[in-house]
Amino acid sequence: GAKQTGKNRYRLFDTALANASKMQLESISDIRSALYSREFVLYYQPKVNMRTGAVIGVEALIRWQHPERGLVPPLEFLPVIEGQAISLELGEWVISSSLSQISQWQSIGVNLPISVNISGYQLQQGNFAIRVAALLAAHPEVNPNCLELEILETSALHDISKVSATMNACHKLGVRFALDDFGTGYSSLTHLRRLPAQLIKIDQSFVSDMLEDTDDCAIVEGVIGLAKAFRRDVIAEGVETIDHGLALLQLGCELAQGYGIARPMPGADIPQWVSHWKADDSWPAWELIKDN
């Protein structure tokens, strides 16, 4: 059931943290030099509207292009630096690289918003909104509403009034917010009510298991209903198969992201992916869904 999945996930995360803290000293300096020698890259995963076929944006996901280890996934290095000054620098690099990427795509006629994951530590900085404003000012050609910030309801929200003030300040700049991994926190309802986040991302653990597990399916249905009641948009993460997509459409969730649609890919591959997806038959279920 959902509880079991949740427990497993936290156990995995605890292990990742424990391993990370063992190698902490070495890794922080490694990560710092990796940032300065430009070894980090952003991959982008498309988000689509399953009913209209529109590509609504992409999520930026960081990877470490390590000279010996190859492409290192974020959960192997982000937990090491969370709470450290270097994580703020890396976080700014992600925002600024995403703005450059929007600008680059724009210049070849591809207009796509980018969602950027923001750590709890980053969001809790008193000058966060000012830093976001400065990064946007460096890219006057980019419309601020092309930038969406994804925050984890589990990590960011120790001080909800401070966080909501920061979010409101960013919101005034035109930046949008999404609540990531929604449903995994302790007080999702309070967060939903108090935070100016237009989009809710249903956690992928519920989505992956929704076809086999009636509890998870009920959670997915509940989150969709909650989003509707609060007039927020809702997207399902972890849509791995067409059957997931169809089940979600039946429950009233049209927006989706997941391996079943596209894996995260380098920015240079996105324009071609978008034009293929537009070609209608890129998803085998396409005809089925349009008639659904």
Quick note: the x/- pattern for ligand C2E over 73-92, rule CB under 6 A, is xxx--x--------------
Q: Decide if residue 27 touches ligand C2E (CB under 6 A).
A: no
DSSP state letter for 86:
H
| 76 φ/ψ angles, rounded to the nearest 5 degrees | -90, -10
CA distance linking residue 164 with residue 168, whole number of Å: 6
Q: What is the CA radius of gyration of the chain?
A: 19
Quick note: the x/- pattern for ligand C2E over 90-119, rule CB under 6 A, is ----x----------------------xxx
**Binds Mg ion by CB under 5 A, chosen from 148, 150, 153, 254:** 150
CA distance linking residue 239 with residue 205, whole number of Å: 10
Between 221 and 237, CB nearer to ligand C2E:
237
Nearest to 54 by CA among 291, 292, 277, 290: 277
Cβ atoms of 58 and 101 closer than 8 Å: no
**What count of Cα atoms within 13 Å lies in the side-chain half-sphere of residue 163?**
27
Stretch that binds Mg ion, among 100-108, 111-119, 185-193, 254-262 (CB under 5 A): 111-119
Site for ligand C2E in 175-194 (CB under 6 A): 180-181
The footprint of Mg ion (CB under 5 A) covers: 117, 150, 180-181, 237
The footprint of ligand C2E (CB under 6 A) covers: 45, 61-62, 73-75, 78, 94, 117-119, 150, 180-181, 204, 237-240, 258-259, 264
